[in-house]
Structure 1
Amino acid sequence: MPEVIRRGAVFGALLAVLGTLGTAVPSQASATPPTACPPTLAGKATCYTGQDANGAYYTMAVPKRWNRALVVHAHGGPTASIDPSDTTKDLAEWAVMVQEGYAWAASSYRRGGYGVRMAAADTDTVRRLFVERFGRPDRTYVHGQSFGGNVAAKIAETYGRERGAYDGVLLTSGLLAGGSRGYDHRVDLRVVYQYYCRNLPRPTEPQYPLWQGLPADSTLTPDDVLARLEECTGIGSANRTPSQQRNLDDITAVTGIPERSLPTHLQYATFLFQDIAVNRLGGRNPFATQGVRYTGSHDDSALNAGVARFAADPTARRDLSYDSDLTGQVSLPVLTLHAIDDPSVFVEHEAAYRATLHGAGRDSHLVQTFTREAGHDGLSVSEYATSIAALDDWVRTGRKPAPSSIAESCGAFDRTYEGGCFYDPGYRPSAYCSRVRPRPGGAGWPAMTAAQERTWSRIDGVGIAP
């Protein structure tokens, strides 16, 4: 189920600053007693839960037959709020890692809402907690799923050079274009949707800039937004009116977002944007539609004349970029897995990530694999087992795998898990700009001065407002 729906409802208000980077280990960590594991791991592992000094909840699992390697998991989202049970649910979802002999640890992050550097710091905290309790593993891998892919890639750049911290990176269905452009398709959806539907907000409601997602005091819920989407497009109905069908056709054609994932994308373009603009950037706008040419509708001229236009605040875009964009400065083996027809995080994010590493001269550290699947979460469990094994073999032997050899090795795991193997070793994604319209002048926000960098390093290590 899409994370925006599974994990919560409306994004919360701005929370107070919690803790500081490096104060993550509670003194009682080594005394936490075992807790119940998810049913799939009963009798196969010992599990532990707790809360770190910054307020983040965590779950750890150590298999009965531990291979002395650790997977540190960064979850997707961003989630609306945190709950003590979230990380145990994540463990159940990724139980294959433990079944394959890897210890596992994950953080809920200290709060809901956006913040890549914050999530990276909290994920590294749970690694340190694990080491405090069980000693340093022989090998440590960071795994990021979806938004967690952005987090894990940031961990590789921020903490990957720390001696003995991490040995490799696994990114599955990763949002790898960074926050400053990784949500541009949702910016386009927000304005294109409003052009056709005119109900978010309605003409009779207080108006607000669409880049804001919603006003700070809005009482709309995700169910309300879904009802307005259904009202305009008839989505989910077998009896759409002709006008609803045309609205739906125009919105999906212009944005490239498939009908099946339209509700999730619209909720992110509403509640996540509210969180980013209102809570994290103090009301500043990091997004732009100025100069973007929209095509694919039944009347492109009318659409481009009437769609909402706005330019980004350069300081807001800079701050979002600092928090979430990737530099490519990685020195660890990085393996990615992505479905070619991922409806939530388009596969072209992989092209953006390869280009980033290539620009930094680090693409030799990267192996990308693709599958002929149409999902985002819940790809074949056999492929997840194959991926972590391939990364582990790469780290242990120093032999970089080819996508074809990874695909060939999947069959052995499929005999155990029977999830199927759908690799396409010859696939290469098109450039990111082929799927998501670039913003004219998008790279022109001002660079940070040395003094500003020092200031950011003192703000809890979280980048944008905590």
Structure 2
Amino acid sequence: MTLAARPRAPHILIFGVAALLVGCAQTPAPSKEAPPSVATCPDGVPAEARCLRGQDSAGAHYLIVVPKDWNRMLVVHAHGGPTLGEPKASRADEDIKRWAITVRAGYAWAGSVFRQGGVAVRSAAEDTERVRRIFVEHVAQPTLTLLHGQSWGANVAAKAAEMYAAPGQRSPYAGVLLSSGVLAGGTRSYDFRLDLRVVYQFLCNNHPRPDEPQYPLWMGLPVDSKLTRAELAARVDECLGVRKPAAQRTPEQASRLKTVVDVIRIPETSVIAHLNWATWHFQDIVQNRTGGLNPFDNAQVRYTGSTDDAALNAGVLRYRADPRAVATFGADTDLTGRIGIPVLTVHGIGDPTAFVELQSAFRRTMEGAGTASRLVQVLSDHRDHSYLSDPTYAALFDALVRWAQEGDKPTPAGLARLCKTYEARFGPGCRLLPDYQPAPLETRVAPRR
């Protein structure tokens, strides 16, 4: 029986400056959080849903959406990215437009924009929990609350689950869904982007150019750099011809591009995006998170896949991480696996942004914490990162609710069957692969440290 077929509890929901708390749970102690304001719903929100906006006590903007036919359950969303610069309230509009399936499936949705931009996981987890508390205090008491993190937001959601739903801890969340997640922590998930920087520089020598100030590539960019994304894309195209049709590339461009793709193991269509992240996100990490110290290491990495690996390994720049930077960055972004609630993950096997092998690293993390019995992972035959399909997410939310409420732990095969039942309501798109097992991360990214 799907959620759509389940009897719904009667409820009272009053929107406005004051709202009644309903449900059987204990009313939380009053907080310093101001109530949200009724707002016009952004584009993409299902008709007749009610929307509220606000800014929490830490300065994070947020959006809350409750469908007309609410199933009395709440999904708290941690968005991907991370976005650099000053957070904008409109970010939540983009998120709910993408994740409107949550509301269409009957759940209320609450998403924080986060108080600060950049690669800051723990503070984003705190902001995520804060918007849940605002919902409970000022909107309604849900019968069940799920936590959902997408991409980098999966790192945030997993961190929030460790902080607020550890084993033995009374948890406000019943389960967590991690989709297309960056789940190996910052100290491992971004290693391949340093590899990309050094291999690209060996081949192209234009980021930075020889006549520009030189800097260690782990820095991303010097703090006073004026380089733009358009300028970097032009440099990449100059060297690799990546934005040209293959027939229009010079032999030299084609050869260099093939080396990047084969050594770093990313599709050519994502080279510019990953170089952007290895530039401006690295700049944020080093300047704003690690005190100017280097958290990335390739001192002993052996690169393979080129036509001349000996020359490549002799020529790439080498860097040794500062242990203090690794410890600082790891404390904020790495995961312990100490999660005491059901965890369901989904990932496209051809994801060009967050490698599917990150799932193996996350399983090992939970095995190390002794919590792997609370983890179910399912893979999908998608080559997308940002979104898989409506019936996929609707089915996974349903399965997570059943697991939390009834102890009905799902299996990958059962999830594949359940997803197919949702296609009648939400359209095609179920491509789950019950038997697929991701390879270890070390088979995709050379190990270090």
Q: TM-score, normalised by structure 1?
A: 0.87
Once the two structures are TM-superposed, the CA of residue 164 in structure 1 deviates from its matched residue by 4.4
Contact 1:277 1:284 in 2 (8 A): yes
Query: Is the CA contact 2:357–2:441 (under 8 Å) kept in the aligned structure 1?
Result: yes
How far 1:410 moved relative to its partner?
1.0
Q: Verify the 8 A CA contact 2:34 2:56 in the aligned structure 1.
A: no
Match in the other structure for 1:45 = 49
The answer on whether the counterparts of 2:263 and 2:306 sit within 8 Å (CA) in structure 1 is: yes
For residue 44 of structure 1, report the CA deviation from its aligned partner. Answer: 3.4
For each residue in 1:315-361, what CA deviation from the matched residue of structure 2 results, as whole angstroms up to 9, or x when unmatched?
A: 00011111111111111000001001101000001000001111111
What do residues 160-195 of structure 1 show as CA deviations (whole Å, max 9, x unaligned)?
Answer: 145241110000000000001110111100111111
Q: Is the contact made by 1:70 and 1:103 (CA closer than 8 Å) also made in structure 2?
A: yes
Checking the alignment, whether the CA contact within 8 Å between 1:372 and 1:424 is kept in structure 2 is yes
C-alpha offsets along residues 294-315 of structure 1, whole Å, 9 cap, x if unaligned?
0101111111001000100000
Choose the corresponding residue for 1:87, options 82, 87, 92.
Answer: 92
Kept in 2, the 8 Å contact 1:370–1:424? The answer is yes
User: Which residue identity lines up with residue 393 of structure 2 in the other structure?
Assistant: Y
Is 1:240 aligned with 2:245?
A: no
The code of the aligned residue for 1:28 comes to A
Of 297-306 and 162-171, more deviation after overlay is shown by 162-171
Helix, strand or coil at the partner of 2:337? coil
Counterpart CA distance in 1 for 2:235 and 2:366 is 41
Q: Which amino acid aligns with 1:80?
A: L
In the TM superposition, residue 77 of structure 1 has moved relative to its aligned partner by 0.7
Give the SS at the match of 1:40: coil
Give the distance between the partners of 2:312 and 2:46, measured in 1 at CA.
56
Which one of 54, 58, 65 corresponds to residue 54 of structure 1? 58
Tell me which of 347, 352, 367 is aligned to 1:343. Answer: 352
Equivalent of residue 156 in structure 1, options 151, 156, 161: 161
Aligned match of 1:448? none
Corresponding pairs, count = 415
Pairing 1:268-347 to 2, within 5 Å after superposition: 268-347=277-356
Change (3 A) 1:178 1:27: closer
Query: What is the root-mean-square deviation in Å for CA atoms of aligned residues?
Result: 1.3
1:34, 1:49 within 8 Å by CA — same for their partners in 2?
Answer: yes
Match of 2:72 among 68, 76, 85: 68
**Equivalent position amino acid for 1:179 in 2:** G
Q: 1:402-425: per-residue Cα shift (whole Å, max 9, x none)?
A: 110110011221112213210100
Cα distance change of structure 1 residues 37 and 188 upon mapping to structure 2, 3 Å threshold: same
CA contact (8 A) 1:404 1:425 kept: yes
| Residue 267 in structure 1 maps to residue 276 in structure 2 | yes
C-alpha separation in 2, matches of 1:136 and 1:327:
30
Q: Show the counterpart of 1:205.
A: 212
2:262, 2:268 → 1: CA distance?
10
Match of 2:381 in 1: 372
Per the TM alignment, residue 135 of structure 1 is displaced from its structure 2 partner at its CA by 3.3
Q: Distance in 1 between matches of 2:336 and 2:182?
A: 14
1:196 aligns with 2:203: yes
Structure 2 counterpart of 1:105, one-letter code:
A
**Are the equivalent residues in 2 in contact too, given 1:144–1:150 (CA < 8 A)?**
yes
| Deviations 1:122-174, CA, capped at 9 Å, x for gaps | 11111111111123311111100000010111111111145241110000000
Distance in structure 2 (CA, Å) of the matches to 1:265 and 1:409: 35
2:40 — aligned with what? Answer: 36
Which of 391, 395, 419 is matched with 2:404 structurally?
395
Using the alignment, how far apart are the partners of 2:368 and 2:125 within structure 1? 23
- The 2-side partners of 1:43 and 1:203 are apart by 56
* Equivalent in the alignment of 1:404: 413
2:232 equivalent among 225, 233, 247: 225
User: Cα deviation per residue 1:40-84 (whole Å; 9 max; x = unaligned)?
Assistant: 334331011111121111000111111111100001111113111
SS in 2 for 1:369: strand
Q: Partner of 2:97: helix, strand, or coil?
A: helix
**Relative contact order higher in (CA < 8 Å, ≥ 6 apart):** 1
- CA distance in 1 between counterparts of 2:175 and 2:46 reads 28
Runs (5+) with no aligned partner, structure 2? 1-29
Question: Counterpart in 1 of 2:18?
Answer: none
- CA separation of 1:25/1:343 partners in 2, compared to 1, >3 Å: closer, same or farther? farther
**Cα 1:216–1:388 shift into 2, 3 Å:** same
Cα deviation for residue 39 of structure 1 reads 3.7
Instruction: Look up the match of 1:132.
Output: 137
The 3 A distance-change label for structure 1 pair 42 and 333 is closer
Aligned: 1:422 with 2:431: yes
Aligned residue number for residue 97 of structure 1 = 102
State the alpha-carbon separation in 2 of the partners of residues 351 and 110 from structure 1. Answer: 31
What residue is the counterpart of 2:11 in the other structure? none
Extract structure 1 runs of 4+ deviating beyond 4 A. 24-27
CA distance in 1, matches of 2:223, 2:268: 28
Partner Cα distance (2:337, 2:403) in 1: 20
Are 2:137 and 1:167 aligned?
no
Q: Determine if contact 1:186/1:266 at 8 Å carries over to the other structure.
A: yes
Structure 1: runs of 5 or more not aligned = 1-23, 443-466
Q: Is the 8 A contact 1:25 1:52 kept in 2?
A: no
**Counterpart secondary structure, 1:49:** strand
- The alignment partner of 2:44 has SS state of helix
Query: Offset of 1:27 from its aligned partner?
Result: 4.4
Letter paired with 2:70: W
**Cα distance between partner residues in 2 of 1:394 and 1:254:** 41
The whole-number CA distance in structure 2 between the counterparts of 1:33 and 1:216 is 39
Query: What is residue 451 of structure 1 aligned with on the other side?
Result: none
